Structure 1
C-alpha cells in the first residue's frame, strides 16, 4: 500500500513539473541600419505599396517619391541616432535605424522582407479572376446590408456605405448613391486614400492613394430623383493608428462633392462572401 501511495505522489509531482512552461519570449525585430546625410538623398525602394511611414526625429524628411519609393534626407549636419518604421501593402512592418553620415556608403536600397524582420505576414490568397470579381460584386449587392452610419450629403445628393465584404485579396464596398434633386449627378472621379488624422512636421508622407480594381457601371451617374446601389472593389487593407481612409466623390462640373471617413473599427467589420 505504501509503495502504491509513493508511486501515486511521484506521478503527480512529475506531471506537475512537466506542465510548468517557461514564459513566452518576445520577438525582437532586427532593424536595418541606414545612413542619412544633409548633402545626399538616401532612397529606399520596396516591392509593395507604402501604406504608412513614421520617423523618430523631426530632423529627418521622409518623402514618398511614388507608391513604393521613399527618399530620406537630414535637415541638419548631425542628429542623434533615430529610427524609421514603414508599413507596406504586404502586411509587414519594416524597421530601420537611421544614423548620420556626411558621405553615406550607400544611397539606394532595394528592400525585401529578408532584409529586415517582418512584424506580421499575411497568408497568400489566390487572386480573383475578372469574372470572379464581377460575380462577387453581384453577390455583395444581393447580400444583407449591415452598415448605415457612414453617410455624406451635399445639396440633395448622398453617399452611404451600406455593407463591406471581403473575398480573397479584395474588399467589396457596397454604397447607396441617392439624388433627391431634379438635376442629374455625374461623377468626375472616385478617390480612395489613407490620410493622417493630423498633419505634422515629422514626415512628408501625408496621403497614400488606393486604386479600385472594379467599379459598377452605374458608379458614375445618378439621374434626377434616383436611388441605386453600387459596388467598388479595392485591394484588402487596414488603416494604421492615427490615420483614416478617405473616400471622395467629385462631381463633374459641379460642387456637390461627397466624402466618407473610415477607420479600422469599420473595416474589421467586413464579412466573408
Structure 2
C-alpha cells in the first residue's frame, strides 16, 4: 500500500513539473505584442488607409466591414461599414516590406479622420513577415518597376502614333539580370482603347512570310501598370520586367499592341543598338 502511494505521489509531481515546463516554454515564445491602432469607420463615408508600401495581404475580422484596394493603386486600402452599429472587430494588413499592421475597428457615424497616412501614425512598422521566395521575388520586381514608372523618358523617337493612339518606349533599365521596359500609352480620342494583346517577340529583319522559326516570343516575368484599358483622353505608363536577353544579328524586337474589337493596332521595332542603351537601377 505504501509503495502504491509513493508511485502515485511521484506521478502527480511529474505532471505538475511537466505542466510548469510547458507553461514556461509557451511564455518564452512570446517576444512582443503589436497593439492595434483604433480607427472609427462609418456606413456612408469611406476611410482611406495610405501605406508606405504596396499591400500584399488583407484580413478583416468580420463581414460587417467592407475593404478594397483603391482601383489601380497598390498602397491605399478603402474601408467602410457594411452595416450600422456593428460590433467592434479587427483588421490586419501585411505590406510589401514585410510589415504587419493591426487595426481595431469600431463604428463611428462621423469619423474625425477619413484619410489616414499610416507612416505618420504611431504604428509599429518593423519588417517581421517572411514571404515565400516567389512572393518576395515578385515584391522586389514590383518595387523596382514602380520606381521606373515615375522616371522621365531618356529614349526618343521610338514610338508609333496613329488613329489618335500612341505608344512610346521611354526607357530600358537593368538590375540583377532583369530588363525593365518603360512604355507610355496615350489615347487622344474619346473612345476607350481596350487592349486585346500586348506581344513582344524577336523576328528576322527579312520581309518574308511569318513562320514559327522566324519569331521567338518573349514573356514578361512581371507587369506593372494597367494593360487592360486606356481611357479616352488619358495617358498612362506601364513597365515590363523581362529576363535579360540580347538581339542576334539580322533580327529585331517587335512589340505589338492590339485593340479588342477594333482596328487601332500599334507596333514598335527595337534594335540591339537601342537595347545596349539600357541604364542601371
TM-score norm. by structure 2 comes to 0.49
Question: Does residue 225 of structure 2 align to residue 242 of structure 1?
Answer: no
Query: 1:232 aligns to what SS in structure 2?
Result: strand
Larger radius of gyration: 2
Q: What is residue 199 of structure 2 aligned with on the other side?
A: 191
Trace 1:59-78 onto structure 2 (pairs within 5 A).
none
Is residue 179–residue 242 contact of structure 2 (8 Å, CA) maintained in 1? Answer: yes
Q: What is residue 169 of structure 1 aligned with on the other side?
A: 177
CA distance in 2 between partners of 1:204 and 1:226 (Å): 36
CA distance in 2 between partners of 1:246 and 1:200 (Å): 15
For the structure 1 residues 258 and 204, does the alpha-carbon distance in structure 2 shift closer, same or farther, using more than 3 Å as the test?
closer
For the structure 1 residues 237 and 218, does the alpha-carbon distance in structure 2 shift closer, same or farther, using more than 3 Å as the test?
same
Deviation at 1:142, TM superposition (A): 2.3
The number of residues matched between the two structures is 147
Query: 1:219 aligns to what SS in structure 2?
Result: coil
Give ranges in structure 1 of 5+ residues lacking alignment. Answer: 1-126
CA distance in 2 between partners of 1:204 and 1:157 (Å): 29
List structure 1 runs of 4+ shifted beyond 4 angstroms: none
CA distance in 2 between partners of 1:204 and 1:254 (Å): 26
Give ranges in structure 2 of 5+ residues lacking alignment. Answer: 1-133
Trace 1:62-211 onto structure 2 (pairs within 5 A).
129-198=137-206, 205-211=213-219
Deviation at 1:219, TM superposition (A): 2.2
Higher relative contact order (CA 8 A, sep 6+): 1
Trace 1:46-61 onto structure 2 (pairs within 5 A).
none
For the structure 1 residues 144 and 224, does the alpha-carbon distance in structure 2 shift closer, same or farther, using more than 3 Å as the test?
closer
Deviation at 1:220, TM superposition (A): 2.1
Higher percent of residues as helix = 2
Q: What is residue 262 of structure 2 aligned with on the other side?
A: 254
- String of CA shifts for 1:113-154, please: whole Å, max 9, x gaps: xxxxxxxxxxxxxx9810000001011112332012100122
CA distance in 2 between partners of 1:175 and 1:234 (Å): 14
CA distance in 2 between partners of 1:192 and 1:170 (Å): 16
